Amino acid sequence: MRHSLPLTPQFYVTAPQVCPYLEGKFERKLFTALQGDNAAKLNDSLSKQGFRRSQNVLYRPSCADCSACLSARINVSRFAPSRSQRKVMKRNADMRRRASSPWATEDQFDLFRRYLEQRHHDGGMADMDIFEFAAMVEETPIRTRIVEYEDTARNALMAVCLTDVLDDGVSMVYSFYEPDVPKRSLGVHMILDHITIAQEAGLPYVYLGYWVPGSPKMGYKAGFAGLEVFRRGTWEIVERPEDYAEDAYPDLTDPIAEQVANISIPNLET
């Protein structure tokens, strides 16, 4: 007997867990499987609706009593580097970018472990071994690249980003970098370089993941001109980041059934 995958995505909700961004809060995610011949089409569509990819799963926050997490992207046409960002670009002018198919290496994993131990030692990835790391990098049903940044003077790997190529932009799925050189601002440098990648490819957006007003871990994303967030079913330009602070603890979110009903699903039969 042959079993075929359902054409209409099935959505599920995770059990509540302690929120890593806001103290005293619990997170919950709405998710669906990303698989089959139409994975790229589904990923493109749901990315435009605030979803993110993790291996073969698409998810977005669906917390019961908070909607602080806002899917964020940079509108490349509206971006202009700030004075501090121009300094970051200058400090990293010796960095060489290398993009390839998603393949995990020991050098990447060593850098990943150093990054976690100094920046996220108590996070959800803290116990990830090399096999789980390889799965994170290599298990992708869509067009994905591993983008490496090398210090040409030292011939050393300094930063890595797992990047999806969408029909309207590039999505920075996960990035990590050398934690011992804070003056380089490598996290900012990778975002700036992905803006360049999008410009070179003629793509309008760089998807950054989630911006959480009120969370120090996510505050840097508000420093990019051209920032847009997905809120109340549409993308809106962030003119004044401080105006979003009051949304850190908003009213109850819509019921799960209503959230799912409002998701636009592309035609997956073609």
Q: Would you place residue 267 in the very low, low, confident or very high pLDDT band (cuts 50, 70, 90)?
A: confident
Asked whether residue 17 falls in the same domain as residue 38, the answer is yes
| Cβ within 8 Å of residue 196, ≥6 positions away | none
- Helix (H) or strand (E) holding 83, with range, is helix 83-91
Higher per-residue confidence, 269 vs 8? 8
pLDDT given at position 1: 46
**What percentage of the chain has pLDDT greater than the value 90?**
67
Say if 270 falls within a structural domain.
Answer: no
Q: Residues 23-79: pLDDT tens digits?
A: 888 899 999 999 988 999 999 999 999 999 999 999 999 988 888 889 999 999 999
- As a whole number of angstroms, the distance between CA 177 and CA 157 comes to 9
Closest CA to 64 of 256, 257, 258: 256
pLDDT (average), residues 178-186? 94
Q: What is the residue range of 25's domain?
A: 11-69+250-261
Q: Indicate if the alpha-carbon torsion angle 210, 131, 15, 126 is positive or negative.
A: negative
Asked whether residue 131 falls in the same domain as residue 226, the answer is yes
Asked whether residue 200 falls in the same domain as residue 218, the answer is yes
Asked whether residue 45 falls in the same domain as residue 109, the answer is no
pLDDT given at position 123: 63
| 67, HSE (Cβ side, Cα atoms, 13 Å) | 17
Say if 122 falls within a structural domain.
Answer: yes
Q: What does the angle CA 214 – CA 236 – CA 258 come to, to the nearest 5 degrees?
A: 85
Say if 268 falls within a structural domain.
Answer: no
Asked whether residue 195 falls in the same domain as residue 153, the answer is yes
Asked whether residue 58 falls in the same domain as residue 103, the answer is no
Say if 225 falls within a structural domain.
Answer: yes
Asked whether residue 197 falls in the same domain as residue 170, the answer is yes
Residue 2 has pLDDT above 60, yes or no: no
Asked whether residue 202 falls in the same domain as residue 81, the answer is yes
| Cβ within 8 Å of residue 201, ≥6 positions away | 165, 170
Alpha-carbon dihedral angle through residues 247, 168, 13, 146, given to the nearest 10 degrees = -110
pLDDT given at position 270: 60
Tokens 């390839």 found at: 100
Number of CB atoms found within 10 A of residue 47's CB: 24
Check residue 87 and report its DSSP letter: H
The pair of structure tokens assigned to 53 is 């990819």
Higher per-residue confidence, 125 vs 192? 192
Asked whether residue 35 falls in the same domain as residue 149, the answer is no
Say if 139 falls within a structural domain.
Answer: yes
The pair of structure tokens assigned to 205 is 């957006």
- As a whole number of angstroms, the distance between CA 149 and CA 8 comes to 39
What's the total number of domains in the chain? 2
Q: Residues 98-154: pLDDT tens digits?
A: 999 999 999 999 999 999 988 765 666 778 899 999 999 999 999 999 999 999 988
Asked whether residue 207 falls in the same domain as residue 226, the answer is yes
| C-alpha distances in Å from residue 139, one per residue of 51, 206, 226 | 18, 22, 31
Say if 220 falls within a structural domain.
Answer: yes
pLDDT given at position 66: 83
CA max distance for the chain = 63
pLDDT (average), residues 234-259? 78
Determine the number of helices (DSSP H) and then strands (DSSP E) in the chain.
6, 14
Asked whether residue 76 falls in the same domain as residue 65, the answer is no
Say if 136 falls within a structural domain.
Answer: yes
Say if 266 falls within a structural domain.
Answer: no
Asked whether residue 85 falls in the same domain as residue 50, the answer is no
pLDDT given at position 216: 77
